[in-house]
Amino acid sequence: MRIEVRALIKAYRSLFRRRALRVWLIIIFMLIIYIPIVVNIVYIHNQTIEVVRREKKESIQNKLSKVRETINFVTNEIQENSNEFIAHLGIRKSIQDFEKLDEDRQESVRRFIIGKIDDVVEKSGGYIKEAFVITEEGEFFKQVGLELVERSSFVQSWFLWNARRKDSNALWQIISGEKLYENTEQEKNLVLTEKIYDIDEQRVIGIFVVMVENNNFYNLYGNTVSHYSGQSEIYDGRFKPLSLGNVDEKLYLNVYAKQELANHELTNQEQVSMKIGSVDYVIVNEYLDILDWRLVSLVPEEELVLSIKKELRRSLILILLVSAIVAVIIAFEITVVSSAVAEKEKTRYKLNMSEEMNEKLSMYKHDFANHIQIVRGMIELGHTKRAIKYLKDMGYESLDIKERTDTGVPEIEAVLATAYAAAKKQDIEIEIITRKIHAESNAQIYDLLKVVNNLIKNAIESLSLSKNEDKKLTILVDFVLDEYVFKITNNVPLINEKDKEAIFTKGYTTKQRGRGLGLYIVKKLLDKNHGTVNLVVDENGNHFEVRYPS
């Protein structure tokens, strides 16, 4: 063996005495090192762009989701105020009997209804432009200064006809192509219409019309993607754009995009692509619950990563230059300094090992000294047999606890070790069955620890209060299909059927001094983290099974 090593060293030295060959070997070393660096840089460059693209899309989606919540809140407030108006018995009775009243009473009723309309407009916070009531007899109840078009043409307008024929009481519509007001240009309007029924709820006696303030409503969503050359728009169920603000009709959804969105469930957040000219757009959309429409944002896909691309390209040459220098340095280290570095690392490793050994010995010494003092005290007091038993028990117990609680997750091991100690203290037989868990701990694992702690604490408390001499606690820990699985069983006392049904209810307890919160907290924490708990009672005991996603 020694002869072979000497032969290798001799061949190595003779090889490096040849200058040309040494240069070529260094070049090969540099290429071996440099090429992966270049490939890695290109890979990181592309991955960075994709990550930024994905994050920007998620950012737009999150922003759109918040805008959706705001629009839902505003439209829900408008609809609730409108519902309150049409449900008012005084308003319904007044409209129902209006034609039977004399002129003075009619005028009084008109002021009353208009006052209620003003309340609805005022509560909207600026999102209602105006509101009015039109009866089946063609009578108007409108705010002062609101000049609608000729009564007969308004009564026969398409949107009122549509409101009457729909089964639903409330209907949101986009009005376009119909002139509603005198002295104004034809414009689009977002309108809520609600049927007003008579006192007996038998027939429709009128329509309550709420006209949304275009500018204020458009400002809720119009600037969602203003920092890109895209736009946001609301589309109804037939993908007709709302077009309340200053929008570019060229950026409306094309037939392909509409079809793609129509093929998806409305409740899902879907990102679809669309090409306009030579530009690819990403389409982000959110479902508007109250309106039953879609909020859609179009953003040029290239603009999502334009800034990061410029920055990466600007620094790419510098990165390649630095990587080349690094490759040369590495090659130099390999050929000239490798043996020195290896020796230094070997010495450092030995030094670190020595330091670690000293720390462990110091720790063991301290722990050992404590046990020696206890044993010494027993011997001095004449309890030699107990001293020997103490030494044996300490050795067995340490090995036993370690083997029983070894899961690979320190937090879970701590809980199991605590349970073991608590059960032994109460003279309860405990069996712990575990397996190695190959999952990273996360923030939610602390909720899991609270759940398991509560269940184990309840089981030990129940066992300690039981008069049965045979008391046993079994804890099984497993990890199946990305789920933590805990099975906690106490053999006595058995839970009856009545308690089993209500055991997770807040305030329900079978203990004299209990508050009924432990198992309620367990259920609440599991619901929060999409976990489950199942209780099975049989002749072997109460079996609580917890499944918790990792």
- Per-residue confidence (pLDDT) for residue 266, from 0 to 100: 43
* Phi (first) and psi of residue 70, to 5 degrees: -65, -45
- Per-residue confidence (pLDDT) for residue 532, from 0 to 100: 93
In tens, the pLDDT along 501-547 reads 888 888 777 766 666 677 888 898 898 888 999 999 999 999 999 99
In tens, the pLDDT along 208-227 reads 989 888 889 988 888 888 77
Confidence of residue 311 (pLDDT cuts 50, 70, 90): confident
Confidence of residue 152 (pLDDT cuts 50, 70, 90): low
Q: Domain-by-domain residue ranges, the chain?
A: 88-216, 403-549
CATH number of 88-216: 3.30.450.20
CATH superfamily of the 403-549 domain: Histidine kinase-like ATPase, C-terminal domain (3.30.565.10)
Nearest residue to 87 via CA among 210, 201, 211: 201
| Average pLDDT value over all residues in the chain | 78
Nearest residue to 462 via CA among 384, 523, 514, 502: 514
In this structure, the chain runs to a length of: 550
- Per-residue confidence (pLDDT) for residue 364, from 0 to 100: 43
Q: Which residues contact 435 (CB under 8 A, 6 or more apart)?
A: 407, 477, 478, 479
Higher local confidence (pLDDT), 130 or 351: 130
- Per-residue confidence (pLDDT) for residue 267, from 0 to 100: 46
Does residue 401 surpass a pLDDT of 90?
A: no
The mean pLDDT value for 404-410 works out to: 79
- CA–CA separation, 529 vs 450, rounded Å? 12
- Per-residue confidence (pLDDT) for residue 177, from 0 to 100: 53
SS3 34: helix
Confidence of residue 363 (pLDDT cuts 50, 70, 90): very low
